[in-house]
Every structure is written in C-alpha cells, then in structure tokens.
Amino acid sequence: MDIRGLGYVTVQSRDLQQWRRYAGEVLGMMVVEVAAGDALLLKMDERPYRLCIEQADRDGFGACGWELAGVEAFEQALAELEQTDVPVQRGTTAEAAARQVQALARFQDPDGNRHELFWGPRQDFARFVSPVGVQGFVTGELGMGHAVLPAPSFDRCRAFYEEVMGLRLSDLMKVRFTSDPAEPEKRIHFLHCNNARHHSLALFECPVPSGCVHLMVEVTRLDDVGRALDRMHANGVKLSATLGQHLNDEMVSFYMQTPGGFDLEYGCHGKQVDWSRHTPFESTVVSQWGHDFSVGRQ
C-alpha cells in the first residue's frame, strides 16, 4: 500500500462537551460541530479536521484514517487486503461525504484495531486560527501526528502492518516502566509510512482498554508546548508524563490524559528522517531526559 500519511483519527465519546472544552481550551484546536450534532471536527491546519470526535456509547479510540496516494493506490490497497483475506468494508457515498473524502474503506488489524483508508480529502483551505494562540501544528506531508496502538498479538500485528499495509520499521524499543526487574519487558515497534515523520504508528505489546496508548500532535515551537502544559494545569487535566525528550524521534513533549481514556502526547521538534540514510536501533530507555511516567500512575 502506498500510504502517504495518517490523515485523520476518529475518537468515540459519550460526552462531546468534554471534548469541546478539552480540544479548544487545552489543545488549542478549532472546534466545529457537524450539522447533525453527533460529532465534533477538530481543525489543526488548512484541512477541515484532523480529529473527528463521534458521539458513541463508549469513550475511547475510534480509528486511524490513512491517506492513499490517489484513486489507483486506493483500489490497489483494497485489492491487496482482499487477497490476504482481510474483510474490507467499502464506505457508502454518504460515509465518504461525512469524512469529506472521495472514497473510504474500513478494516481491522489482527487485534481488532480499526483502520480506515481514503483518498482525496476535500478542503476549503481556510486558515487555522487557534482559539488560545497556538502558532500552528506540524502536519502537511507528515500527516496529523502519530498513534500508538495496543498489539497483544504482537508478531501477527507486526507482520500485518509491514506485509499488508506496507509500513516500514523506524526503530525498536524494549522497556520496563518500573525499576522492578520482575516486570516483563514489553516491545514497542515504531513504524513509518511514505513521509519523513519518524513514526506515524507504533505498536505496544499489551492490551489497552481505551484502544489506544497515546495519540501525538506536534506544534511548531517549544513555547506552545510549555503554554499547553500551563493550560493543562489550569483546566485540571491530569499529567501522565513530565516534559522530556525522546531518544528515537527527538520529540520534546509531555503526556496528559484525554476524555477518551487514552493519553495525548503534545510535542515539538520531532525528527524528520531521510529513510535512505536511516538504520534502525533498539533502545532500552524511552527518553534522553524527563518523561517521568510515574506521575500518571500516582
């Protein structure tokens, strides 16, 4: 599959008002309610939305929306899924219109993580103007950010993403989150698609009830990361990990809770990679400095 980027992400919510406040006042995104009133579109750039919060009977992650290079790449991707016996559901014209794309399809990975494929996003190129003064989010060719998904059937999932979806390994990690040597090491593998973002997806070897470990969005300057941290405190949102810098993608970020029950990483200065020059490495620690996840467990 010729996946060009993580175009959008959907989230399920029992209470859209919680997300309206969180997205506008903490994340600094523009919030638009759809006409039917059953979803919020969160705008981060010139596209009408990058996050779609859908009214549901649960709080949690929805799906990753992967952008294909065009109609031929879209049809090719569907044919490849069908060849590997992965059930694919083509979206109706109305569903594609709701996502504001030319065509849409849905499928799941071996652990039931949901994915959508699309091509040709519709956009009016209206400027992004943050309600709280965020200068901008780093998107464009790099996609909207990255998602880390639970993959208890780790090896099956890894093979699926590489062999069926055509994602490539960026780097690997094996970590314990406590100093207890009895804690089993868990694998996290970082995968990229056809753009320079270090990873658009990572797989974590553990089940997660919300359906997502974390979602990452990147802003253009460190100043806006610090101000987001201030807004998190001011709005009573719980910190999940302190400010720090990752080893692999060099992102300077912090983690906080979302109303979806998963974390959101808010960062800047993520590395852009020339894949022809890159060689993967396995790290045994998460970060150069900071990123104390024990604060989230307290």
Q: Judged by CB, which is closer to Fe ion: 78, or 219?
A: 219
Beta-strand relationship, 282-283 and 168-175:
parallel
Those residues with Cβ within 8 angstroms of residue 276's Cβ, 6 or more apart along the chain or in another chain: none
In angstroms, give the least distance from the CB of 246 to Fe ion: 7
In angstroms, give the least distance from the CB of 125 to Fe ion: 29
In angstroms, give the least distance from the CB of 297 to Fe ion: 18
In angstroms, give the least distance from the CB of 241 to Fe ion: 10
- 216 part of the interface to Fe ion, by CB under 5 A: yes
Q: Judged by CB, which is closer to Fe ion: 194, or 287?
A: 287
Q: Judged by CB, which is closer to Fe ion: 216, or 219?
A: 216
Q: How far is CA 66 from the centre of its chain?
A: 11
- 171 part of the interface to Fe ion, by CB under 5 A: no
- 218 part of the interface to Fe ion, by CB under 5 A: no
Q: Cα(250)–Cα(201) distance, rounded to whole angstroms?
A: 16
With helix as H, strand as E and coil as C, how does 76-117 read?
HHHHHHHHCCCCCEECCHHHHHHHCCCEEEEEECCCCCEEEE
In angstroms, give the least distance from the CB of 142 to Fe ion: 14
Classify residue 292 by burial, with Cβ atoms within 10 Å: 0-12, 13-18, 19+.
middle
Contact residue for Fe ion among 119, 265, 270, 291 (CB under 5 A): 265
Q: Cα(263)–Cα(88) distance, rounded to whole angstroms?
A: 29
Residues at the interface with Fe ion (CB under 5 A): 216, 265
